[in-house]
């Protein structure tokens, strides 16, 4: 059974948070039409790892946080899961709805909301998944989303987070990842140099790219009361963390 919009009530937010959401929704509306070929294609191994770890089956009540154009929601719905896909971008949500209609996925619905604002009934879902979304959130909001997801899960339910996972250069692993990302962008010519400049700005000021290390994710999961927390590196910069509601 999917959750209805009525069951998802909104949490309050201050004006600064609202301004961030407005800017985020505009940005992702613009990126939506090309996300499938230009963005998500490069993330396929992480998407596959999240879908596999989710272990969804017929009737698994699932929430996909920051669904994009359906990269997790569509394969999970094809496995029979009853998926509610949530995204801040109305254009992304339209794309998910179009795909659900084209592929006759009756148990895939999509709704527009910032994930920080989502409030679901306690113990109402079996699975919460998210891929390459939470690094956009402020750290306190990442931890709050994990805590919220833990309350939505039924006993035995799972949270699976896929994302870029590295810190700000404190460990050898962080430095290796940052060095390799810089080298890749430098090698792409003027387009890459421009992207590098923007990313350095965003990463150092933590404006839009706010990844945290895998250890930090494990800490968020454990302090939310999730058990059996297991992190796994998928590609150099990215990994998944899985935890279960006791």
The residues of the shown chain that bind ligand SAM, judged by CB under 6 A, are 24, 28, 39-40, 43, 47, 66-68, 71-72, 87-89, 92, 114-116, 131-133, 136
Distance of closest approach, residue 218 Cβ to ligand SAM, in angstroms: 21
Distance of closest approach, residue 73 Cβ to ligand SAM, in angstroms: 8
Q: Do residues 148 and 124 make contact, with C-beta atoms less than 8 angstroms apart? A: no
Distance of closest approach, residue 246 Cβ to ligand SAM, in angstroms: 27
- In terms of CB distance, is 36 or 225 closer to ligand SAM? 36
- In terms of CB distance, is 108 or 133 closer to ligand SAM? 133
b/e burial code for range 188-208 (CB count within 10 A of at least 16 → b): eeeeeeeebeebeeebeeeeb
Distance of closest approach, residue 116 Cβ to ligand SAM, in angstroms: 6
Q: Do residues 72 and 131 make contact, with C-beta atoms less than 8 angstroms apart? A: yes
- Helix, strand or coil, per DSSP, at residue 105: coil
Distance of closest approach, residue 57 Cβ to ligand SAM, in angstroms: 21
Closest CA to 55 of 146, 145, 126, 130: 126
Distance of closest approach, residue 212 Cβ to ligand SAM, in angstroms: 15
Closest CA to 115 of 132, 94, 97: 132
- In terms of CB distance, is 23 or 227 closer to ligand SAM? 23
Backbone dihedral region for residue 39 (phi beyond 0: left; psi -120 to 50: alpha; all else: beta): alpha
Residue nearest to ligand SAM (CB): 68
Q: Any idea which residue has 């890749």 for tokens?
A: 184
- In terms of CB distance, is 27 or 225 closer to ligand SAM? 27
What is the rounded CA–CA span in Å between residue 169 and residue 162?
20
Distance of closest approach, residue 239 Cβ to ligand SAM, in angstroms: 14
Closest CA to 171 of 222, 233, 230, 224: 233
- In terms of CB distance, is 34 or 188 closer to ligand SAM? 34
- In terms of CB distance, is 35 or 221 closer to ligand SAM? 35
Q: For the residues of 120-143, what is the DSSP string, one character each?
A: --TT-EEEEEEES-GGGS-HHHHH
What is the rounded CA–CA span in Å between residue 16 and residue 202?
18
- In terms of CB distance, is 62 or 89 closer to ligand SAM? 89
């Amino acid at each position: 059974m999917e959750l209805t919009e009525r069951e998802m009530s909104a949490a309050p937010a201050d004006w600064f948070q609202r301004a961030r959401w407005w800017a985020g929704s505009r940005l992702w509306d613009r990126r939506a039409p090309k996300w499938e070929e230009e963005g998500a294609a490069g993330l396929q191994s992480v998407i596959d790892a999240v879908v596999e770890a989710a272990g969804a089956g017929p009737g698994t009540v699932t929430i996909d946080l920051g669904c994009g154009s359906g990269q997790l929601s569509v394969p999970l719905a094809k496995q029979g899961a009853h998926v509610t896909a949530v995204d801040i971008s109305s254009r992304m949500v339209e794309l998910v709805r179009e795909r659900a209609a084209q592929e006759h996925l009756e148990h895939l619905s999509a709704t527009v909301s910032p994930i920080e604002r989502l409030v679901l009934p306690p113990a109402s879902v079996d699975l919460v998944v998210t891929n390459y979304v939470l690094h956009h959130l402020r750290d306190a909001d990442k931890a709050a989303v994990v805590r919220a997801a833990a309350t939505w899960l039924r006993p035995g339910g799972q949270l699976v987070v896929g994302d870029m996972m590295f810190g700000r250069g404190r460990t050898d692993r962080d430095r290796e990842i940052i060095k390799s990302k810089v080298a890749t962008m430098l090698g792409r010519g003027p387009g890459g140099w421009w992207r590098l400049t923007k990313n350095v700005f965003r990463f150092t000021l933590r404006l839009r790219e706010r990844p945290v290390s895998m250890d930090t994710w494990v800490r968020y999961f454990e302090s939310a009361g999730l058990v059996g927390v297991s992190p796994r590196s998928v590609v150099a910069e990215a990994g998944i963390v899985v935890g279960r509601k006791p």
